[in-house]
Chains A and B, each alone.
Chain A
């Protein structure tokens, strides 16, 4: 490793890593492991309707049959018998911030959630371990008919039929092992419905905090943006670091109806003991647009490939992502897109940075089906290596089944060029500042797509401190 690059150090995670001691009397924790009895208990806890109870048990059956894929990061150290599927505070979900228990409130205060809500969000859901502890939507957004609630309320309330219609239809439990596990033990998450023609001007946000050691978080996010509607949804995630593995196997299902637009922004900042095995998928109808903005920074191991199905004619998708793999991390991330409709287009642009022995893998698939005439796709992935003990791999796949398609792909792997550093230094910058500026510039295509406070967070997450010399 070159001397210069020793100066690129990990960011200060202290704000995320503060652990809150969970008093046993204040928290309910399901015994570890994933058995039929545990799944039944979760179902009882949550007062599931009968169809959901059956769905959970069927999913568990599928989970026990499916194998882990042979192509991704190693998960051998993840002992599922030592993971608790369900941990919740003994408090109901609150609609007022003041009513949230003090210790939990402190955690979210430190993360800046209520402040963000006050200043720049139309609604907030805050999940702590397995359940939402706070959910609030601004009156003016509610008045537009926008539904933003927790999944459990949606499952048994006025939107029960809608949930039944859409729940895990896009990501069936048979999709992969952890989708099946999710189907069995899911808990928490958000349900959003934006009525026809409604444009939500400011974003909604869900923040997921996994605080308990050796626990799993399995939130389910279901968003339906009806015809001609428009929404920006932000998802944030963090957890303190423990010496035992934690598991995140959330599921996000997005339905973007005719001529609607949905932007889904994520900053994944899990702690470095987290196995992040998350599934995200969007179904995009005629003339609709799906935009993904994704930053993957934390976690020990990640499998994350948001998928878009461009079902309708003239539907479009754009994915902008960045992954930063540091010491002890194996982040396998990317995107998937399927072109089904005519005149569809997709644009995938990713950046990855690897340092201090981190493994960053960009993995993608672009499928253009036979009937997807006039499809256009462009894939661009750039990787930056900051030392020679790390890995940066790109494994894109394309399956094109029509000649009436225009496919472009480019990938680049390299380092910070000495010439660029020299040029900036000749303009008066120190070497440290020059390198920091180059890395920030490299990440800029992603950070400029994020709301300001998230861009700041992201820049903090890739902040470079140069030791000099």
Chain B
């Protein structure tokens, strides 16, 4: 196993001095002992959970959609600094990239396949919970497969003892067939001494929809990647990410909406707060491929900086080789406005309380989208505790 994983490659490289073209995870001292996905809780009927699925089975599952992706490829030149060839070996292109696949393969991580049967709209979420104890080092891999016309919600929660040391790396791959919808919710409330990565890759066929909600609230060092390929016409990708980094926490992320089909729609929202000496790198890419006529993409980032010692890197990329598209990106980065603080103070709320209020408001604006009241309460409690 390589001692360093190179992950989160920007789809089109830029200046080296920005130190954002990719990121590295040091894993030489990590001794992985656990590679099993915990049992899913509350599995409804019409959902099948299959353990220990081989990579060959996964390749077979994705072969049809991958043929469709291959048929859409053109000979047009890629962007300057194109890194897409680095992902060519992946069965499903993910945000963090091929070296995560290699790690999973090398560590013989078994895949758990969660399948929603054709035509079933399952409202009850499937829950998978990782609870780490001190010293736990785990990897996990899941494939979520929504067959034609089905809908499935999966909530994955990660927590640990506050002082626990450890490592948790998860790769989740998604396949939404025609007219299907996958809601994937990830809530990370690990202790600050834990290193964590969260790698997501998904594909949408015609009129399919992938919705992701990502709450990154704990862990010392976190890497997150998410790449959704909208190969089907009228397919949709919606993402809402909320993150809170404090002390010396770091969060390095790479989100890509790869829009290939006609009239695809992607909408990515990122809301975060940086405190103390926290560090965050955001890479967000809308990639309009040739043939994606009528597609719309939007990515919005809103970052609140609450300490003079934070580091915020933002690389919002739009790549476009199709004329008939509408791509937008907006970023707003800064501290609380004086007028906001003044308003709060005029209502009897001191500055420190106003900041805490704003942090909670930001995080809860994402958390409230989770279709699980108990989970929302746990998130609120976790935020209150750490603040």
Contacts and interface: CB of A to CB of B under 8 A. Distances in A.
Interface of A: 1-2, 5, 69-74, 330, 332, 336, 359, 361, 363, 365, 370, 383, 385-415
Nearest to A386: B323
21 contacts: A71-B12, A330-B80, A388-B293, A388-B323, A390-B323, A391-B319, A391-B320, A391-B321, A393-B79, A395-B12, A399-B18, A399-B311, A402-B308, A405-B305, A407-B331, A409-B333, A410-B328, A411-B318, A411-B329, A411-B330, A413-B328
Interface of B: 10, 12-18, 20-21, 76-77, 79-81, 274, 288, 290, 293, 305-335
Contact of A395 (B14, B306, B312, B327): B14
Contacts of A409: 314, 316, 329-333
A71 B15 contact: yes
A406 B326 CA distance: 27
A415 B324 contact: yes
B334 A395 contact: no
A20 to B, nearest CB: 34
A395 to B, nearest CB: 5
A370 B311 CA distance: 9
A398 B320 contact: no
A394 B14 CA distance: 10
Contacts of B323: 1-2, 5, 385-388, 390, 415
A400 B312 contact: yes
Given A386-B323, A409-B316, 9 more contacts: A71-B80, A72-B80, A365-B17, A395-B12, A405-B335, A408-B331, A409-B332, A410-B329, A415-B324
Given A71-B14, A330-B80, A388-B323, A411 B305 contact: no
A413 B334 contact: no
B38 to A, nearest CB: 38
A361 B79 contact: yes
Contacts of B328: 410-413
Nearest to B301: A409
A370 B310 CA distance: 9
Nearest to B282: A398
A336 B14 CA distance: 12
A359 B79 CA distance: 8
Contacts of A370: 308-309
Contacts of A1: 323
Q: What 4 pairs between A and B have smallest CB-CB spacing?
A: A403-B305, A71-B81, A71-B13, A407-B333
A392 B319 CA distance: 6
B315 A398 contact: yes
Nearest to A305: B15
Given A396-B316, A413-B288, A413-B318, A391 B306 contact: no
A339 to B, nearest CB: 13
Nearest to A388: B323
Contacts of B13: 70-71
A395 B307 CA distance: 27
A388 B321 contact: yes
Contacts of B321: 388, 390-391
Contacts of A386: 323
A302 B33 CA distance: 51
B320 A408 contact: no
A106 B293 CA distance: 49
B290 to A, nearest CB: 6
A361 B316 CA distance: 13
B331 to A, nearest CB: 4
A299 to B, nearest CB: 14
Contacts of A410: 328-331
Contact of B317 (A72, A365, A393, A415): A393
Contacts of A72: 80-81
A72 B323 CA distance: 23
Given A71-B21, A72-B80, A401 B318 contact: no
Given A71-B81, A361-B80, A396 B315 contact: yes
A399 B313 contact: yes
**Which of A393, A399, A400 is most buried by chain B, counting CB atoms within 10 A of its CB?**
A393
A408 B325 CA distance: 23
Nearest to A409: B331
B278 to A, nearest CB: 11
Contact of B334 (A330, A385, A392, A406): A406
A70 B9 CA distance: 13
A388 B324 CA distance: 8
A97 B325 CA distance: 52
B80 to A, nearest CB: 5
Given A394-B317, A410-B329, A414-B325, A363 B308 contact: no
Given A388-B290, A411-B328, A413-B327, A397 B18 contact: yes
Contacts of A383: 318, 320
Given A71-B16, A391-B79, A398 B312 contact: yes
Contacts of B325: 385, 413-415
A408 B332 contact: yes
A420 B77 CA distance: 30
Contact of B18 (A70, A365, A403): A365
Contacts of B332: 407-409
A405 B333 contact: yes
B255 to A, nearest CB: 15
B16 A69 contact: yes
A393 B80 contact: yes
A402 B15 CA distance: 21
A400 B333 contact: yes
Given A72-B80, A72-B81, A397 B313 contact: yes
A416 B325 CA distance: 10
B306 A403 contact: yes
Contact of A397 (B290, B307, B315, B330): B315
Nearest to B314: A398
A407 B334 contact: yes
Nearest to B307: A403
Between B20, B313, B333, the greatest number of chain A beta carbons within 10 A of the residue's beta carbon is seen for: B333
Contacts of A405: 305, 333-335
Contacts of A412: 326-329
Given A391-B320, A411-B316, A411-B318, A398 B333 contact: yes
Contacts of A70: 13, 81
Contacts of A396: 315-317
Nearest to B280: A400
B92 to A, nearest CB: 24
A330 B307 CA distance: 41
Given A405-B305, A411-B329, A415-B323, A397 B14 contact: yes
B14 A363 contact: yes
B16 A397 contact: no
Contacts of A408: 331-333
Nearest to B12: A395
Contacts of A387: 323
Nearest to A2: B323
Contacts of B81: 70-72, 395
Nearest to B329: A411
A337 B318 CA distance: 20
A389 B16 CA distance: 29
A404 B336 CA distance: 9
A117 B330 CA distance: 43
A95 B318 CA distance: 49
Nearest to B336: A403
B11 to A, nearest CB: 9
A421 to B, nearest CB: 13
A311 to B, nearest CB: 18
B71 to A, nearest CB: 17
A409 B313 CA distance: 13
A414 B316 contact: no
A391 B76 contact: yes
